[in-house]
Structure formats: structure tokens, C-alpha cells
Amino acid sequence: MPPAGGRADTGLAIEFRLNGETCAVEVDPAERLLDLLRYRLDLTGTKEGCGEGECGACTVYLDGLPVDSCLVPAYQAAGRDVRTIESLDEAALDPFLRTGATQCGACTPGVVMTAWWIREHPDLLETHGVRELMAGNLCRCTGYDGIVEGVEAALAERARGAGGGPGGSGGTSPGARATPRPLARAGVRGSGAVHRPRTLAAALDRLAEDPEAIPMAGGTDLLVHWPGHLAAHDRDYVDLAGIDELRGHRWGESELVLGGLSTYWELIRDPRVAREFPLLVDAGRQVGAVQIQARGTWAGNIANGSPAADGVPVLMAYDAVVGLASSAGTREVPLSDFYLGYKRMRRRGEELITHIRLPRRARDIQWFDKVGSRAQQAITKVGLAVTRDAGAPPDGGGWRVVANSVAPTVLRCPTVERLLDEAPDIDGPDGFAEALRADVSPIDDVRSSAEYRRRVLARLLYFGLRERVEFVT
């Protein structure tokens, strides 16, 4: 394998808005937005802390939303508005200085980007707390009090009309290099190619030709630890970002239809979703932090096939149907029937997930529990989504019990569902042990143990039902 990629002509020409100016540049298919900003445009205010979308030190705005630039392929900046810390007016950052929001400073530019976004969108606080919104920015120095107080002070200044916004075309920090450094300077290179279709038909044609190519949506899974995933740099990708047909969700009379590119954040911010499909919002808010929610897509969560996927259980509990298309035609598969095994699914290489259909039905019971390794921004160790169809016949069939991180795939628990239909007296978590043994098969891994997962799943079921049905006491 050649050391630096085998292609002679690798550059993808893109143009985007960068801190208010037009930036035209050739990027490598394996280059991250973070690499482009830091190593070729000399915008070093954006830091790399982890390369896995965990620490938020690389936070920039992409079309106005905070994202982790380590998880954005550089080519996906094309046609979009990118703002970095350098675009903020330094003088307006004084509140953060007063409260001690910075110590070592390595997390700070990312912290400030998220904090400033909150300051500019105080309506966020109608649904979210500052600590939840800041959870995608790890800080090891302050203990977060100085940061949270800084956000509050900045909001107070805004309310008083004080403090400037981001300077129109640029802040007070040094701007980007007028001439980007050459591609050789990019931190990451590979030998794979990226195709950037503008229509669904073109994307499907591409996949028909090369079913091994990987569709790229939000990148929040594929780009984790990207620089070290050398084999991934040599594969081919089909970028979905330019396909407007896949954007947005729409309401039908009897269904909610998510587009293939619908993001978590898009649904979290739709009050109607919160009313009719509250578990989508509950689960969406627990996928990573805001930076991930802004980029991650529901369809990507399905297609990635992780048993720990947080979006999939609630979709499954709402009887979601996955819409697939290839150049040969379209078909729909119930999500509960979609997975065949670990990372194996009914989507064929030449197919794309174009939409996700959710029937609008009244539920008299619905909840989602996620047990992660910490309160915010965690990978699920055990997860549970439960719904009951309010219109189900008395003899049953109305329960949906879906678990994640306890089997090779996210899955429904049919034995538990039948047990609930029977509504026997259950007076402790052990009452679910046998049914769960039939349904799930957790393992020991780096995050938890099989025993913990099995027992906690039973406890989530027990305590959740105890609050909601009479037969569990």
C-alpha cells in the first residue's frame, strides 16, 4: 500500500462561505473540515481534542449550527456557510473572561462557539438547559461553573442590548490564508474517490455501478477516529449532502415521513414532533450532544447498524417502515424486520434509505430509557423504548418493547410483549428475567458487562411499568 494515496489527481474543487468570505479550494476526499481549516487555511483557533466528536474543541458553525469539524468531510462544506471562532468579535467575549470560563484554553474556542450560539438563540432555553447544550464541549479545567456562568452573563448582556455579535465578515482574530496551502499539507489523504450527485437518481445510478461505495450523510459515525482508519480512506463514497430531495420531514394525514437526511436536531426543534412522537425528541436529545444532533441523521442511524443506536429503538417502537430505493425500483421494509445480524441488514449495497414512515397512532403508554456511561453524551449500555397502542384490541398486540445494546442488533422483545399482553402480576425485576432471556443476548465489552445489561434492562422494564400499569407492583 503506497504511503500517501495512489491518485495523481485527487482534488475536489469546492466553494463555500468562510467567515463571511468566499473560499474556493481543492480538497482531498479524505480531508476533514478540521484539517482544511487548521492546516491549509491557518485557522488554528479550531482545535482538535479527540478526533471522535466527543470533546467539541473543533466546534464550528455549519449553516448556523454548531458541529464537530472533525466529523465533517471537507467536501461537505461545499455551498454552505462555515464560521469559525475567528469570526467572533473578541471584545464581546468579555463575559466569559469575567466568570473564569477559560483556563488552559484548549477546549475554549469550541466552548465559546457553542456558548455564543446559545447567546444568539436564547429561545433554546425554553426547551433546554445550558448544561445540556454545553455537554458536547468537554472541559477538564473549570468544572464547568465558569462556563455556565459565562453563558448566563453573555445572555444577560444580550438582554441589555450590550455586546456585539460576530463581526460581519470577520472578527478581530487573524483571518484565513488568502491562498490555501497545497493539498500535500492536508493531515489526511487517501486513495478513495467521492462522488457528489445532485439528485437521488444520480446517486442511485452511482450505487448501481459501485455497490461497494459508502453513502455519506452526516458523517458522525463514519468519521470517528478518521485519521487512523486508513483503510476507510481508500474506499469510495457517495456524498448525499447535495441531494435536496432527501431533506426535511413532512406530515401526512396518517403518517409522519422523515427524509433520508432528516437530522436529530430537525425533529428535536419541531414542537409537533414533541407532541405526537415525544420519544423521537427524548432519544434525539440523548444522541451525542448538540454538535452530533445537528449532523446525525435518523436514516444514518439505521444504516450504520450499531446495536447501540439510540434513534432506532424509538423508531421501532413507533412501527417505523424503512423506505429503500435503488435504480431498479423502491421497496419498504418494517424496521423491526430490517436487521439480519450484527451490522447486517436488508439494505443492499445499491440501495439508499430515502425515507422513514411512522404511522400516526395514539399511544397510551410510551417511554424511552437510556442508560449510558454518563448523564450526557454517552454511548448506550442499555436502552429501552416501550409503547402501547391506545387502540389495540383487549387481547393484546398493542405493546412494543424495543431494546438496544443487549443483542447484535436493536430488537423488539416479542416474549416480553406477549407477557405484557397477558398482564400477570409482577412484583419485581425478576418477573421479566425469563422473558428477557428468550429475547436478548447481551455481551461483555469495554463499556459494560452482559450481566449488568441483562439485569438493568429488567429493572428499567419493571420500574417503568410500575409507574404505568396496575399489574406491576
Partner 1 sequence: MRRREGLAKLSGRERYVDDLPLDDFLWGGTVRSPAPRGRIADIRFPSWFRGAGFIVVDHRDIPGRNAVFLMEDDQPALAPGTVRHVHEPVLLVAHASRSAVRRAVAEIEVVVDEDPAWLDFLAPPPAEAIQHGPDNVFKHIDISKGDVEAALARAPIVVEGEYETGAQEHVYLENQGMIAHLDGETLVIRGSMQCPYYIVKALGGLLGRSPGELRVVQTPTGGGFGGKEEYPSTIAAHAALLALAAGRPVKLVYERPEDLAATTKRHPSWIRHRTGVAPDGTLLAQDIEVRLDGGAYVTLSPVVLSRACIHAAGPYACDHVRIRGDAVLTNRVPFGAFRGFGNPQACFAFECHMDAIARRLALDPAEVRRRNLLRDGQTTATGQVIQDGTDRVALLDRALELGRVEEKRAAHAAFNAATADRRRGLGVVTYHHGAGFTGSGEIHLDSRVHAAGLPDGRIEIRAASTEMGQGTITIFTKLAAERLGVAPELVEIAPPDTHVVPDSGPTVASRTAMIVGHLVERACDDLRAKVGLTDQARGEIVRDAILAWHREHRAEAVIGEGRYTAPPGVEWDEETYRGSAYATFCWAAHVAEIEVDLRSYGVRVLDYVTVQEAGRILNDVLARGQIQGGVVQGIGWALLEELVERDGRMLNAQLTNYIIPTSGDVPPIRVEFVENPYPFGAQGAKGLGEFPLNGAGPAIANAVSAALGVTAASIPLTPERLMRLVDEAGPAATGAA
Q: Which of residues 276-295 bind partner 1 (CB under 8 A)?
A: 289
Residue closer to partner 1, measured from CB, 244 or 451: 451
Residues numbered 363 to 382 that lie near partner 1 (CB under 8 A) are 369, 371, 373-379, 381-382
Residue closer to partner 1, measured from CB, 247 or 466: 466
125: cell is: 432555553
* Shortest Å distance, C-beta 204 to partner 1: 32
Residue closer to partner 1, measured from CB, 172 or 199: 172
With CB under 8 A as the contact rule, the residue among 64, 168, 211, 228 that binds partner 1 is 228
| Residue-by-residue DSSP string for 238-280 | EE-TT-GGG--EEE-SSEEEEETT-BHHHHHT-HHHHHH-HHH
Interaction of residue 306 with partner 1, rule CB under 8 A = no
Q: In whole angstroms, what is the distance from residue 193 CA to residue 1 CA?
A: 16
* Shortest Å distance, C-beta 405 to partner 1: 12
* Shortest Å distance, C-beta 434 to partner 1: 19
Residue closer to partner 1, measured from CB, 95 or 305: 95
Element (H, E) at 15: strand 12-18
Which region among 128-136, 242-250, 353-361, 385-393 touches partner 1 (by CB under 8 A)? 128-136
Interaction of residue 387 with partner 1, rule CB under 8 A = no
3-state secondary structure of 433: helix
Interaction of residue 44 with partner 1, rule CB under 8 A = yes
Cβ-based neighbours of 377, under 8 Å, separated by 6 or more:
54, 135, 136, 288, 289, 292
344: cell is: 447486517
Residue closer to partner 1, measured from CB, 171 or 311: 171
Residues numbered 316 to 355 that lie near partner 1 (CB under 8 A) are none
Which region among 19-27, 134-142, 291-299, 344-352 touches partner 1 (by CB under 8 A)? 134-142
Interaction of residue 227 with partner 1, rule CB under 8 A = yes
With CB under 8 A as the contact rule, the residue among 14, 32, 41, 54 that binds partner 1 is 54
Residues numbered 8 to 37 that lie near partner 1 (CB under 8 A) are 30
Interaction of residue 144 with partner 1, rule CB under 8 A = yes
Put the strands of the sheet holding 329-334 in their side by side order: 249-251, 255-259, 352-359, 321-326, 329-334
Which region among 106-114, 245-253, 262-270, 415-423 touches partner 1 (by CB under 8 A)? 106-114
* Shortest Å distance, C-beta 395 to partner 1: 30
Residue 242: Cβ within 10 Å count = 16
Buried b (16+ CB within 10 A) or exposed e, 192-214: bbbbbbeebebbbbbbeeeeebb
Interaction of residue 184 with partner 1, rule CB under 8 A = yes
* Shortest Å distance, C-beta 471 to partner 1: 16
Q: In whole angstroms, what is the distance from residue 471 CA to residue 247 CA?
A: 44
306: cell is: 450499531
With CB under 8 A as the contact rule, the residue among 10, 19, 69, 102 that binds partner 1 is 102
Interaction of residue 41 with partner 1, rule CB under 8 A = no
Spatial contact of 348 and 341, defined as CB atoms under 8 Å apart: no
Please provide residue 12's backbone torsions phi and psi, each rounded to the nearest 5 degrees: -110, 125
The closest of 91, 98, 92 to 147, measured between CA atoms, is 98
The residue count of the chain comes to 473
Cβ-based neighbours of 271, under 8 Å, separated by 6 or more:
none
DSSP 180: P
Q: Is 122 exposed, middle or buried (0-12, 13-18, 19+ CB in 10 A)?
A: exposed
Residues numbered 405 to 434 that lie near partner 1 (CB under 8 A) are 428
Please tell me the count of residues contacting partner 1 according to CB under 8 A. 100
Residue 100: Cβ within 10 Å count = 15
With CB under 8 A as the contact rule, the residue among 3, 161, 393, 394 that binds partner 1 is 3
* Shortest Å distance, C-beta 128 to partner 1: 11
Which region among 81-89, 206-214, 248-256, 353-361 touches partner 1 (by CB under 8 A)? 81-89
